[in-house]
Structure 1
Amino acid sequence: MIVSLIATLTARPETREELFRLLVDQVGPTRAENGCIDYNLHVDAMDPHVFVFYENWKSQADLDAHMEMQHLKPLLSQIDRLLAKPIDIWRLRPAEPTGNG
């Protein structure tokens, strides 16, 4: 089953540009990973300190493998310093056509 995520990261004002560069650097390598359907980075239109990833994976195993990738290490090793608050993650699944979602 496809695994979809929305992850919101809020930068500290003093680390906004550094975080932005680290996030942008994740896009290409992540899109090339096995099981990545799409991986899109957005910036909140009202708050430039808020970044949102919308991502879809072929399976939970593919997402789990992504979280262990070497290219994430520079970001994950500094996450507490870079973020104003913890990452907010929404895990999504397709809605059932019966309306029972």
Structure 2
Amino acid sequence: MSTIRVLVGSTVKSENLAEVLDLYDELVRETRREDGCISYELLQRTDEPGELMLVEEWQSQAHLDAHTHTEHFVRLVAALDRLEQAAPAMILSKVL
């Protein structure tokens, strides 16, 4: 079975960046403890600090679906929605 990868880009205004990074810190820590999470990282553009990319890898779609219903995901994503402009999630499976 192929793993599931997720990419979610977002743009954050400089005045919100510190708060957004604090929220992501908790989201990353809690998510990495979840069953089925292979990796969960937040990347930041070196030339544009307000441009972020969340990169995830899950054992299955079922694990990803369960993740989106956890207390920490629901709570933290609601808080992040107020502070960042997120692109739609790209959900990918490995082909080769």
Instruction: Give TM-score scaled by structure 1 length.
Output: 0.82
Aligned residue in 2 for 1:42: 43
Identity of aligned residues (%): 31
Structure 2 portions without partners, runs of 5+: none
Check the 8 A contact 2:68/2:74 in 1, yes or no.
no
- State the structure with more CA Rg: 1
Instruction: Give TM-score scaled by structure 2 length.
Output: 0.86
Residues 1-101 of structure 1 correspond to what in structure 2 (within 5 A)?
1-83=2-84, 85-96=85-96
Which structure dedicates a bigger proportion of its chain to strand? 2
RMSD over aligned CA atoms reads: 1.5
Structure 1 portions without partners, runs of 5+: 97-101
Separation in 2 of the partners of 1:73 and 1:12? 22
Check the 8 A contact 2:8/2:86 in 1, yes or no.
no
Separation in 2 of the partners of 1:90 and 1:64? 14
The number of residue pairs the alignment matches comes to: 95
Note the alpha carbon deviations across 1:9-29, whole angstroms, 9 max, x for none: 211232111111101111111
